[in-house]
Amino acid sequence: MSLEGQNTKKGIDSCDLCDKIWTFISSPELGYQNIDLGNFDDLRSTKCPNHDTLLDRLLAAKDEKVTVLAQQQDLVFSISKPYHSTSVLFSLNKYDDAHFRVYLENISIGPFDVVRKDSAGFCLLIDQNWIESKRLLKWYMDCKTNHGIKCSAPPYMSMVPPPSLRYFVDTLNKCLVPAELNCSYVALSYVWGQIACLKTTTKNLSQLQLPGVLDQVDIVGQIPKTIAQAVQLDDIEMMKEQLPQMVSIFAHADLVITAVDGPDSDYGLRGLREVPSPIPRDFVQETIQFGDQRVLKRIFQSSNRRNGPPKDYFKRAWTFQEYLFPRRRVVFENNSVCFECCSYVKFEGLHDSILERTEWDQHLLPFMVQVGYPSLTVCLDLISKFNARQLTYPEDCLSSFAGTLSTFVTLFKGGFLSGLPEMFFDAALLWQPRGDMTRRVSRRQNNNSNGIASCLPSWSWVGWHGSLDEYSWASGNDFMAACSGLIASTICQTIPITTWYTAAKDDSMKRRRIDAEWSTWRNRYKDPEVELPPGWTKRIRADGERLTIEQSPDGYGEYLYEHKSCSALFWYPIPLTNPDPNPKIISNTEYLFSRVETASFYTSGAKFQSNSHITRSSALCVSLYDSLKRWAGILRLQNRSDFADAALPLDTSSFQIQLVAISRGTTPNGQEYDFCFEENDLEERPKDGKIYEYYNVLWIEWGGDIAYRKGLGRVERRMWELQTPKVIDLVLN
C-alpha cells in the first residue's frame, strides 16, 4: 500500500500505535525490517479513529481465512518490509512460548508502498479509466536512449536472424504497405480467439494497400478492437515462409504491444484514450483511510501480479514465443500497463524512479547462447512450458513452435525432426511425461495447419499435450564435464542399438537416414590417438579439479576436452555449431522405420510414483513382469487412466503388452537416487554387481501395420534377452 502525502503526521491525531505505524511505513530505508506492535485484540480495543479502519481491514482478512491460525487467539499484529523493497506488509502471526513465530499460515494484507512527493520509490494513485500515454512513450524513449546494447542487442539476438517481412500496417495512411528493408516496426501479440474478423487474402491484398482503406466503414467494422498486424492467411507459400520467422518478427520488433487482458482480439487495448473508439478500463485501487491520509494498496507488481488462475494469453500456445523473445514490450494486463525491457520493468502504479527487477534477469534465453553448446536441458524446458499450453487446433503444434525451434538450429547440428533434435535422436526418443498427457488429434478436415501438412506422431512430444520431464533427455548431456549454464545430469548412459529412418508416408521407399552424431562422436574419440576436429584441444584432468558432472561416460575420464569457442569443459568432443551458414529445420515427417527387437511382458500391481523426494515428476509407473511373474522392469504411463479397463491394481491377474527395444542403457548400482530412474525405489530391481544394464523400451499398440507409442520404460537386460525377442521391421507413427 501507499500513503498519500508528505512524510509528516499532518492530519493525524497521534496515538502511540499510529506513531509506530506511520514511522515504519513512511520510512524510505531499504533492507528487511519487522516490527511487532502487540496483541491484535488489545490493539483493536483502543478504538482510535485513525487506525481502526486499517485494523478492521486486517480483521476482515482474518475472517476470510478458514484455517487453524484464523481460529487462534493471541495473534500479534506485525508490519514488515522485505529485502530491497519499500513495500510493507501488515500481518497477524502466532508465537510459541519461546517467542518463535509459528507459521501455520500467515494472515496478511498488502503489499503497501508509501507515496511521497519528495522521494522516490512509492505507489501512485492513477486514473481509474484512462492510461497516461505520455508515460508509455517516456519509458520507451528512456530505454532507447540510455540502455544501449543491453536492450537493443541482447545476447540471444545472435541466434535470431532478421525476418524477411512482406507487409506492414501503415497506421498514418491507414493501409497495408510493402515492408521496407531494415525498417523499424512495432508488433502486436494478442489472443485471437474465435471471433470473425477481416483477413488479408490474395484477393483483397491490392485493395488493402489503398491509402485510407482501413478507415472505410465497410472495412473498419471487420477489424477487431485489438488491432492485429495483417498476415496473408490464404497464401500457403507465404505461410510456410512466415511461420518459422515468428520469433524473428517479434525479436526484431522495436517494441511489442502485448495484450494479456481479454479472451479474444475484440477486447481492445482498454484505457487508451487517444485511439479510435476508445474503451475505458476499470482499474480499481483499494484504499484505506488512515486519519486524513489514505493507504493505497499496490496491485500491479512483478513478484505476484500473476498469482491465481492464468489468463487466456498465458494458456495459449501461439503466444508462447511471442512473449518469450521481444527486447521491449508494453504489457496490458490486469487493467493496467507496464513496460518491460532487458534492463527493468516500469509499472504504471509505481513512481518512475522505481526499477523493478526484470524477468529477463533470470531468463532462459541467455543460456541458449552464452554457454556455447547445444543445451538439451534448456531446449526441453522451453518445450515443456510450451507443450502445456492450449491449441484450438492441435495440428498447429509444430507451426506455433517453429520459430522457437529455428533459434536452436545454429547449435543443434541437423536441426529437428518433428520436434526432436536429430543430433541426439536416440536420447531424444526417451522423452517422458511429467504428469498426465493426452493424445493430440487433428481437428481440421483438410488435415493441415495453415497450409502445412499435419504432423502429430506418437513417438514425439508434439503428438501429446502436457508437460515433459525436463530430466528425460539428461543422458544426452554426458559430453559435459563443467559448465556455467543450465544442465541436467544423470548417471545413466544411452547406447544406440538400431538405425532410424524417416519418411512422410508409411509406404514410402524414399527414406532418409537420421544421423545421431552425438553417439557417433562419443564412439569415435574413445581412441585418444584419433585426430581432434578443428578448434578442439585436450588435456589431462588436474588432481582435485572440480567439475559440474563428475561421472564420465564409459571410455572417458582421463582427459578433458576444450573448444576455442566457449569456456566449458567436455568429456569428449561434440559438434558445437551447425556448419550450414543458412540452417533450416528439417521438414517434419511423421513416420519412423527401423529393425527392432520385440517381446511381450505383463503389467501387474498398483500404479506407483517414485518415492524419491527429489523426483519432480507426478507421472505414474507400473512394474513389468515376464510370463513366469519375474520382475523385469518399469513403464511410465502417459496418462493415469491407462489400463483403466484392466482394473489396476491387479493382485491376481495381469495385462499383456507389446514392447520394442529402441536403445540400451547402463547406470551404476549403489546410487541413492537419480532423477531419471524410478527403479531405485523398488526392492525387486537387481542390485548385484557394479552396473545395472537395461533396454529402453516403447510400449506400442497397432493400427493396421503401423505402431503407435503408448508409453516408455526400461527392462532389465538379462530379462529382456531371456525372452528370445523377435526382430521385426517397425513402422512407427
Of 317, 335, 363, which residue sits at a domain end?
Answer: 363
Domain membership of residue 437 (yes or no) is: no
In the prediction, which pLDDT does 102 show?
45
The three cell numbers of residue 264 are 479474444
| H/E stretch holding 482 | strand 480-482
- How far is residue 530's CA from residue 548's CA, in Å, rounded to a whole number? 26
In the prediction, which pLDDT does 491 show?
82
CB 160 within 8 Å of CB 248: yes
Of 341, 363, 385, which residue sits at a domain end?
Answer: 363
Of 112, 146, 177, which residue sits at a domain end?
Answer: 112
- How far is residue 571's CA from residue 541's CA, in Å, rounded to a whole number? 10
Domain count along the chain: 3
Rama region for 387: left / alpha / beta (φ>0; ψ in -120 to 50; rest): alpha
Question: What does the buried/exposed string (b/e) look like for 98-127 if buried means 16 or more CB atoms within 10 Å of the residue's CB?
Answer: eeeeeeeeebbbbbbbbbbeeeebbbbebe
What burial class does residue 38 get, using C-beta atoms within 10 Å of its C-beta: 0-12 exposed, 13-18 middle, 19+ buried?
middle
Q: 364 Cβ partners below 8 Å, 6+ apart? A: 378, 381, 382, 486
Walking along the chain (733 residues) 10 residues at a time, the average pLDDT comes out as: 44 73 77 84 83 81 57 76 73 64 53 48 80 94 94 84 87 87 90 72 82 71 47 54 82 93 87 87 82 67 57 91 92 91 85 62 51 85 94 91 85 91 97 94 70 83 95 92 80 94 90 95 94 95 88 92 91 82 71 98 79 63 93 93 60 80 92 70 87 96 96 97 97 97
Strands 255-259 and 186-189: parallel
The three cell numbers of residue 441 are 488429434
pTM: 0.84
Question: What does the buried/exposed string (b/e) look like for 530-563 if buried means 16 or more CB atoms within 10 Å of the residue's CB?
Answer: eeeeeebeeeeeeeeeeeebebbbeebeebbbbb
CA 141 → CA 144, 187, 269, 339, 341, distances in Å? 5, 17, 21, 11, 12
Identity of the residue numbered 682: L
The three cell numbers of residue 549 are 558432472
CA 644 → CA 77, 538, 607, 648, 650, distances in Å? 52, 54, 11, 7, 11
- How far is residue 13's CA from residue 10's CA, in Å, rounded to a whole number? 8
Range of the domain at 257: 133-281+302-363
65 phi and psi angles, rounded to 5 deg: -90, 125
CA 198 → CA 43, 233, 248, 402, 639, distances in Å? 62, 11, 25, 25, 40
Domain membership of residue 334 (yes or no) is: yes
In the prediction, which pLDDT does 21 show?
84
Strand runs (DSSP E) across 485-608, as ranges?
A: 493-496, 501-503, 512-513, 536-540, 559-563, 569-570, 591-608
Same domain, 621 and 657: yes
Same domain, 108 and 205: no
Domain membership of residue 418 (yes or no) is: no
- How far is residue 269's CA from residue 258's CA, in Å, rounded to a whole number? 9
- Give me the helix-helix angle, 376-387 and 397-408, nearest 10°: 160
Same domain, 106 and 180: no
Residue 153: count of CB within 10 angstroms of its CB: 12
CA 100 → CA 75, 107, 539, distances in Å? 13, 16, 55
In the prediction, which pLDDT does 85 show?
65
Strand runs (DSSP E) across 322-430, as ranges?
A: 328-333, 336-341, 345-347, 416-417, 420-421
Domain membership of residue 574 (yes or no) is: no
Of 514, 502, 4, residue with least CA distance to 291: 4
Query: DSSP characters for 605-624?
Result: EEEE----TT------EEEE
The three cell numbers of residue 360 are 529477463
Domain membership of residue 325 (yes or no) is: yes
CB 561 within 8 Å of CB 570: yes
- How far is residue 503's CA from residue 593's CA, in Å, rounded to a whole number? 8
Domain membership of residue 454 (yes or no) is: no
Same domain, 89 and 220: no
Same domain, 103 and 202: no
The three cell numbers of residue 251 are 525479436
Same domain, 638 and 704: yes
- How far is residue 528's CA from residue 2's CA, in Å, rounded to a whole number? 67
For residue 396, the SS3 value is helix
Q: Within 13 Å and on the Cβ side, how many CA atoms surround 269?
A: 21
Domain membership of residue 718 (yes or no) is: yes
The three cell numbers of residue 508 are 514410402
Same domain, 83 and 186: no
Same domain, 166 and 101: no
Same domain, 190 and 67: no
In the prediction, which pLDDT does 612 show?
47
Q: 305 Cβ partners below 8 Å, 6+ apart? A: 299, 333, 334
CA 498 → CA 112, 513, 633, 696, 729, distances in Å? 62, 11, 21, 12, 11
What burial class does residue 314 get, using C-beta atoms within 10 Å of its C-beta: 0-12 exposed, 13-18 middle, 19+ buried?
middle
Same domain, 644 and 723: yes
- How far is residue 549's CA from residue 282's CA, in Å, rounded to a whole number? 53
CB 296 within 8 Å of CB 125: yes
Domain membership of residue 543 (yes or no) is: no
Same domain, 221 and 318: yes
Same domain, 137 and 108: no
